[in-house]
Amino acid sequence: MDDLARLRPPTVTEAEKPLRRQVAMAYRTAREAGKEERDAFEAAMIAYNKERPGEERLAASARVAEMIASAVRVDPVWFWKNVRKPGTGLMI
């Protein structure tokens, strides 16, 4: 990845939007349930891998991170609504 690619906002094609929603919902649902970030990310990876099985883990992980970032950019209030900081009960 070049340095400029890291500065660009994550992009999701129209065709990928349903998958982005599945990935974001898996992540968000796990976080709402009080799971740590790594566990929520793994839930998102499982959702992604159901649609794109066999993709190399590092590439899939990067794409899942981009999809989560894209979902946060689209609607941060929705994304973080009811998500609590694990172990504290405090809202993020």
Give the residue extent of every domain in the chain. 3-80
Cα–Cα distance between 85 and 54 in angstroms, integer?
Answer: 33
Q: Which pTM was predicted?
A: 0.81
Token readout for 77 is 């209030």
**pLDDT tens digits along 48-89:** 999 999 999 999 999 999 999 999 998 998 888 877 666 665
Which residue shows structure tokens 């982005």?
A: 20
